[in-house]
Amino acid sequence: MVHQLLVDGGVEIRTLESESSDSENSGNGDTNRVLIRTLIQTDADIMTHLCPSVLTRPEVCQRHLRDLQNHLDTLRRLRRNVGYAVLGSRGAGGLLVGVSAWDGGSGLWREHLFWTAGGIVFGSILVFGKFIALRLFRLYFRRKSGT
């Protein structure tokens, strides 16, 4: 999925006619026709194209929505894990700098420790500030849109 998202430009979810259990359209000979196609792009745009015959077949829409929700859940987990990895690497980098600053008691270690601790505190403020700001923006836009 990561390869599709980053290299191919997006993740495509398709619901085909052959996957449908509807017997009324099984005799038309075109069983590989795409009924619903959703493309999730790298910049988080989601585009969905529907075949007009799908509008009268809610079971096909429900199946496609389940597939789409599964893909979105996977992408959310991926984004969360990447965020954890970035946060962990920041902490590990700060710890490495702090340990390497220990130079045998010449007094410079205090200065390095001060800058390392300041960097960790500032980085934490940025991470949590971003988290809080995103939550506030979501709340604002939900209230603004009435949902």
**Do residues 35 and 84 both lie within one domain?**
yes
Predicted confidence (pLDDT) per residue in 40-51, tens digit: 887 878 898 999
Cβ partners under 8 Å of residue 64, min gap 6:
13, 15, 35, 36, 38
Domain of residue 109: give its range: 102-147
List, for residues 50-66, the tens digit of each pLDDT value. Answer: 998 888 888 888 999 99
23/85 same-domain check: yes
pLDDT value at residue 104: 52
Residues 61 and 117 in one domain: no
Are 20 and 66 part of one and the same domain? yes
> What is the number of structural domains in the chain?
2
Q: Are residues 50 and 72 in the same domain?
A: yes
Task: Map tokens 């969905």 to a residue.
Answer: 48
Neighbours of 76 (CB within 10 A): 10
57: left (phi over 0), alpha (psi -120 to 50) or beta: beta
CA atoms within 13 A on the CB side of 104: 0
Task: Give Cα separations from 36 to 15, 74, 81, 136, 145 (angstroms).
Answer: 5, 20, 30, 34, 27
pTM of the model: 0.53
Work out the pLDDT band at 23, boundaries 50, 70, 90.
very low
- Provide the 10 A C-beta neighbour count for residue 54: 18
Q: Which residue has the higher pLDDT, 49 or 116?
A: 49
